[in-house]
Amino acid sequence: MELSPTAYVILGMVSRTPHSGYEIKALVDNSTRFFWAASYGQIYPELKRLAEAGLVEGSDAPRGDRKRTVYAITKTGRAELRDWLRRPPETSEMREEGLLKLFFAGMLEPEEGVEILRAMRERRLAVADQLRAMEPEAIEKDDDLPLMVLQGGIEFSQWFADWCDRMEARLLA
């Protein structure tokens, strides 16, 4: 069975502690979404596939009257996750709507291209601030690898904002 990147996100999220689909989504939203997002529409079908493949096991863990299933990684799931981690990355996808708009902005007035760059810059600075706000908690957890990824995101966001400044100056020259 070939697994999607979202399946590996899920396996990674449940590799330390069992979680419900809702909790997995919250973990993604506060960590990997800055470089690899996952929606509820992806998470729940993947959880079902992973359970059918024997890579995770679900158990009932209701909260009050609410039905809730918590998923834990199996021995087979852990082996699959380790195998995937040992393989070189196969994709290096960057989805940035602003770059897509800038690519086609030749059909607009030049100053509108500048506005696209300014909007991208502001968005990247906001992301950098958001990531910086997460840094103290990441440092407290004393888990160096997620901290390195967080710091890489901060540096990349700052670099991207600086690139937008340079490209704006180029368009205005």
pLDDT digit string, tens, across residues 144-169: 999 999 999 999 999 999 999 999 99
> Taking the mean position of all CA atoms in its chain, how far away is CA 74?
23
Tell me, what's the pLDDT at 62? 85
The overall average pLDDT reported for the chain is 95
Tell me, what's the pLDDT at 100? 93
Q: Biggest alpha carbon distance in the chain?
A: 64
For residues 140 and 90, the answer to whether their CB atoms sit within 8 Å is no
Domains in the chain: boundaries:
5-86, 97-172
Tell me, what's the pLDDT at 24? 97
Torsions phi, psi of 73, nearest 5?
Answer: -75, 145
pLDDT at residue 170 greater than cutoff 90: yes
Q: What is the 3-state secondary structure (H, E, C) of the chain?
A: CCCCHHHHHHHHHHCCCCEEHHHHHHHHHCCHHHCCCCCHHHHHHHHHHHHHCCCEEEEECCECCECCEEEEECHHHHHHHHHHHHCCCCCCCCCCHHHHHHHHHHHCCHHHHHHHHHHHHHHHHHHHHHHHHHHHHHHHHCCHHHHHHHHHHHHHHHHHHHHHHHHHHHHHC
Structural tokens at position 107 = 């059909």
Tell me, what's the pLDDT at 64? 87
Q: In what side-by-side order are the strands of the sheet with 56-60?
A: 19-20, 69-73, 56-60
Q: Does domain 5-86 have CATH number 1.10.10.10?
A: yes
pLDDT digit string, tens, across residues 16-67: 999 999 999 999 999 999 889 999 999 999 999 999 999 999 999 888 888 9
Torsions phi, psi of 159, nearest 5?
Answer: -60, -45
pLDDT at residue 94 greater than cutoff 90: no
